[in-house]
Structure 1
Amino acid sequence: MRIGPYTLDPPLALAPMAGVTDKPFRLLCKRLGAGWAVSEMTTADPRLWRTAKSLRRMDHVDEPAPVSVQIAGYDPAMLAEAARYNVDHGAQIVDINMGCPAKKVCNVWAGSALLQDEPLVARILAAVVKAVDVPVTLKIRTGWDREHRNALAIAHIAEDAGIAALAVHGRTRADRYEGEAEYDTIAAVKAAVRIPVCANGDVDTPQKARQVLAHTRADALLIGRAAQGRPWIFREIAHYLATGELLPEPGPAEVRDILLGHLEHLYAFYGEHQGVRIARKHLGWYAKDRAENAAFRAVVNRAESAAEQLRLTRDYFDALEAGCARAA
């Protein structure tokens, strides 16, 4: 799949998730097989660009191309300026958020709330595409609610505005993340436009990835929650799509090494105090499929230093590895 000058291989992306797809996680997922990764949502409000949170979200030093940055807001001129600002600070693809269902985003008429106002969508897309010389992509939901699925209309607006690629999450804003994603709307969008279309929603196994691609004929897949604690899902899906064969699950020793590297990058990026706290949610995700998860989380969440958190994590996975060795 191509977006502007970039060939994205494999056609698998880490979907933008606030509080999750920070630089350490993006780099990890790219290393483990993601063709590209989209940043956390960054605000279009220039008054907030110099906050510590925004500065971290705009840090793309040494990040492999293409650097895709998502912006969110409601004002065409403000979003255009945000696009220019982020391109000046390393963005190679600008992604516009019209898919976030969070109340605090929708209440200020941003994210998926914009789907209710198609003329405003058209003005925003035209302004941002005109403002920058890099590809502009758009992420949407199927509509505001199930009675107002207008993804097809938005897709035509996007194509006419010069949007380089469109990602569609198979839920409405009202659905939030509940129930199962539906793919018929994504398939209809793909059949109706010439620009690349990415399918998003509930892709959590290699088999599901192939099913969704077959059903929608989408050009690529965006994977979000399924990558939390399983960043190797990208290489698993890529291998399965290429060969029809399933890779074996990584053993405790490999998971330990991936996680320890991730933790150390979090400490370096955020500083020890904040890094230790941010790491706790990742530790829970990495251990979520193991019976010992509750006990592990209770122990590791007490760690107040990087050294203690690393030691407890290493000891936990070393014990799992030793148990696997004895069982073999």
Structure 2
Amino acid sequence: MSVKIGNIDLGEFPLLLAPMEDVSDPPFRYVCKKNGADMMYTEFISSEGLIRDAAKSRQKLDIFEYERPIGIQIFGGDIDHMREASEIASAAGPDLVDINYGCPVKNVVCKGAGSSLLQDIDKMVKMTEAVVKASHLPVTVKTRLGWDDNTKNVYEVAERLQDVGIQALTIHGRTRAQLYKGEADWSLIREIKRNPRIKIPIFGNGDVDSPEKAANWSMEYEIDGIMIGRAAIGYPWIFREVKHFFKTGEHLAGPTIEERIEVCRTHLDKSLEWKGPRTGIFEMRRHYANYFKGLPDFKPYRMRLVAEPDINNIYSILEEVAEKFADYDATKVLA
């Protein structure tokens, strides 16, 4: 059976690309879409920034036809501002609006936004209802298990947010207190999925970094789909590998050196196109190590790539990498 969010048909077991700050921009989303991501989200966007018309927040609203279906994710601590931000985000033409109740970062939480709302479920419900009423699009939510081990309240959150109209829920299997440490616990996600009151799709997120894990957890925790985040950074092939494993039970060979170079270069080109040469080159620097992770003696090339300001020289270094590792079997390198 297909998974649906409103009228958006995501197929049988969708793989979602997580919204990640300073990562999930259009260039990164482009290479993930090409490699099989079924639905994607923008980086999270501050409601305050949208209302102030801040350039950085506005730029994050950029979406492209080839990315669909795509959701714009917003966050904030003020209900009226979130309502207004929902209207602005909806007008940008996404397929849905997503609310971030999961971000654990201190400067988000201290403003009463992100996972901070897990300490005030009544306010979270009111905020969600305001966003749902303000948008003509489906509204979804991403959150965590709870604030800490003593307040794992996501079971209540799921019921109450469904009651005010959200159309899907993604749960990261950690509390806010855990940040990104320790192992994600999906057992509570399964309990929510088994709750007869819950009719909306439930997606699991946290620690999915291999086809086996995705396949095993899809059955063990009975979720409707999986959201993949950090495992896709520098390795957008994770989506196609998971899909291949689901279909055949066999591993797809990893990307060759040629593929790594090609996708890295595509990512770079899209970055230049969207951000301009200076910012495009600068912001691409965080990705090189991940694209070539596991290659022996890659460090000297990485050092040159992250220091080089000239685009033609960057292309030349990538060609050097292609020549240097031409006979190396990169398909066996772990992501």
- TM-score tier after normalising by the smaller chain length: over 0.9
Alignment of 1:3-152 (within 5 A): 3-9=5-11, 11-45=14-48, 50-152=53-155
1:299 aligns with: 304
Give the drift of 1:61.
Answer: 3.4
Moved over 3 A (4+): 46-49, 322-325
Number of residue pairs aligned between Structure 1 and Structure 2: 325
RMSD of aligned alpha carbons? 1.5
Q: In 1, Cα distance between the equivalents of 2:135 and 2:266?
A: 36
Q: In 2, Cα distance between the equivalents of 1:109 and 1:50?
A: 21
2:200 aligns with: 195
SS at match of 2:77: coil
Aligned CA distance change for structure 1 residues 51 and 285 (closer, same or farther; 3 Å): same
Aligned 8 A contact 2:15 2:239 in 1: yes
Please report the TM-score for the alignment, with normalisation by the length of structure 2: 0.94
Aligned CA distance change for structure 1 residues 47 and 99 (closer, same or farther; 3 Å): closer
- Give CA-to-partner distance per residue, 1:291-316, whole Å, 9 cap, x none: 22322221211211111112212321
SS at match of 1:313: helix
SS at match of 1:260: helix
Give the drift of 1:46.
Answer: 5.0
Aligned 8 A contact 1:49 1:55 in 2: no
Q: In 2, Cα distance between the equivalents of 1:257 and 1:211?
A: 31
Q: In 2, Cα distance between the equivalents of 1:94 and 1:323?
A: 44
Give the drift of 1:198.
Answer: 0.3
SS at match of 2:116: helix
Whether 1:169 aligns to 2:172 is yes
Aligned 8 A contact 1:229 1:282 in 2: yes
Aligned 8 A contact 1:260 1:314 in 2: no
Aligned 8 A contact 1:263 1:310 in 2: no
SS at match of 2:191: helix
SS at match of 2:251: coil
Residue 237 of structure 2, aligned match among 227, 232, 235: 232
2:333 aligns with: none
- Give CA-to-partner distance per residue, 1:234-270, whole Å, 9 cap, x none: 0110111122121111110111111111111101111
SS at match of 2:74: strand
Please report the TM-score for the alignment, with normalisation by the length of structure 1: 0.95
Aligned 8 A contact 1:136 1:165 in 2: yes
Give the drift of 1:116.
Answer: 0.5
1:310 aligns with: 315
1:251 aligns with: 256
Flag structure 2 segments of 5+ consecutive residues without an equivalent.
Answer: 331-335
Identity rate of aligned residues, in percent?
37
SS at match of 1:45: helix
Flag structure 1 segments of 5+ consecutive residues without an equivalent.
Answer: none
User: Which one is further off, 192-201 or 288-297?
Assistant: 288-297
